[in-house]
């Protein structure tokens, strides 16, 4: 679940309307520009052992999930992030049967993975209360995927899981926060090395790596580790409206260099065979997402 490096901490006005609390709040990711939510309604506030959860309702983006004061996803545009995080590696692989998802407590990633016929999913989420919150309040993201019999849910530390498990996976998807707090360990060389050990032949590791225009160090460090550990380490991109600052990067690592660039016809057949339904992702987008602007090429 992609996390902004900012706190939604500036509350500028507060008033009552139709018996609901309305707020104005501004992001503080950048000192001189950003975006804001105006006149939103607080739907749920909950504190867990790990995180403070807040669900608000906004006019432009619908429901918005915030953890520890940080925006995670919105009802209106989360499909872009989740489709690109999941369908790109799964279609690139072409025959994945066993997928590991680390993080992603909102359930959006497992929802899109489970769209693929015949795939079994192991999910490792550190905070059980996040998944319980998501089951109750984020059905618009997970579509009851937590009850799917092809899902095996483990509550625990993802880094510890990949270090200790004897299982092998075709694809590992790291749906993490940015490298601060609990998510920091999921951006280390040691963690990526443990992930590689858990991958089967032609296995693919995919990670969320923020917005390169504003967070270049995050992508640069991850891909440098990928290149040490794998034969191929790069990224692909997508535009998610609420992740301001330009296109978002997804790290991509594999020992099969042929999986990065595939003919559109082959991708199209794999999409049909997978049986997925998407609003953003298609074979053209798949190919184009690996075409990087020069400034991102310099980063990776």
The catalytic position among 106, 127, 170, 175 is: 175
Q: What is the largest CA-CA distance in the chain?
A: 58
> 273 with 119: CB under 8 angstroms?
no
Choice among 53-67, 125-139, 177-191, 225-239 with the minimum mean pLDDT: 177-191
Give the whole-angstrom CA distance, residue 131 versus residue 44. 15
**Catalytic (active site) residue 175:** yes
Give the whole-angstrom CA distance, residue 100 versus residue 163. 13
> 130 with 99: CB under 8 angstroms?
no
Which is nearest to 215 in space by CA: 195, 243, 185? Answer: 243
Give the whole-angstrom CA distance, residue 23 versus residue 254. 45
Domains, the chain, in order of start with CATH, read 10-73 (2.30.140.10), 78-299 (3.40.50.150)
pTM above threshold 0.85 = yes
pLDDT digits (tens, 9 = 90+) for 238-268: 999 988 888 999 999 999 999 999 999 999 9
Give the whole-angstrom CA distance, residue 193 versus residue 163. 9
Using alpha carbons only, what angle is made at residue 239 by residues 234 and 244, rounded to the nearest 5 degrees?
105
pLDDT digits (tens, 9 = 90+) for 162-180: 999 999 999 999 998 766 6
Collapsing DSSP to helix, strand or coil, 236 comes out as strand
């Amino acid at each position: 679940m992609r996390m902004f490096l900012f706190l939604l901490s500036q509350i500028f006005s507060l008033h009552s309307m139709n018996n609901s609390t309305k707020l104005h709040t501004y992001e503080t990711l950048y000192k001189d520009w950003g975006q804001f939510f105006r006149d939103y309604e607080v739907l749920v506030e909950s504190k867990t052992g790990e995180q403070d959860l807040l669900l608000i309702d906004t006019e432009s983006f619908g429901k918005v999930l915030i953890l520890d004061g940080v925006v995670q996803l919105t009802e209106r545009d989360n499909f872009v992030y989740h489709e690109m995080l999941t369908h790109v590696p799964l279609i690139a692989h072409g025959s994945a049967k066993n997928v590991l998802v680390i993080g992603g407590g909102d359930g959006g990633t497992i929802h899109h993975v489970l769209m693929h016929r015949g795939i079994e999913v192991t999910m490792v989420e550190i905070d059980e209360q996040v998944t319980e919150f998501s089951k109750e309040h984020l059905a618009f993201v997970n579509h009851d995927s937590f009850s799917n019999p092809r899902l095996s849910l483990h509550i625990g530390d993802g880094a510890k899981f990949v270090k200790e498990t004897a299982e092998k996976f075709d694809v590992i998807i790291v749906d993490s926060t940015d490298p601060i707090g609990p998510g920091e360990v999921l951006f280390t060389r040691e963690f990526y090395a443990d992930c590689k050990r858990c991958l089967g032949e032609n296995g693919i590791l995919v990670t969320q790596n923020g917005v390169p225009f504003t967070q270049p160090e995050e992508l640069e460090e991850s891909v440098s580790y990928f290149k040490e550990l794998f034969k191929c380490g790069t990224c692909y991109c997508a535009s998610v409206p609420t992740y301001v600052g330009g296109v978002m990067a997804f790290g991509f690592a594999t020992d099969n260099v042929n999986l990065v660039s595939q003919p559109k016809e082959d991708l199209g057949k794999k999409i049909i065979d997978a049986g997925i339904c998407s609003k953003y992702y298609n074979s053209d987008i798949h190919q184009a997402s690996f075409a990087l602007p020069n400034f991102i090429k310099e980063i990776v």
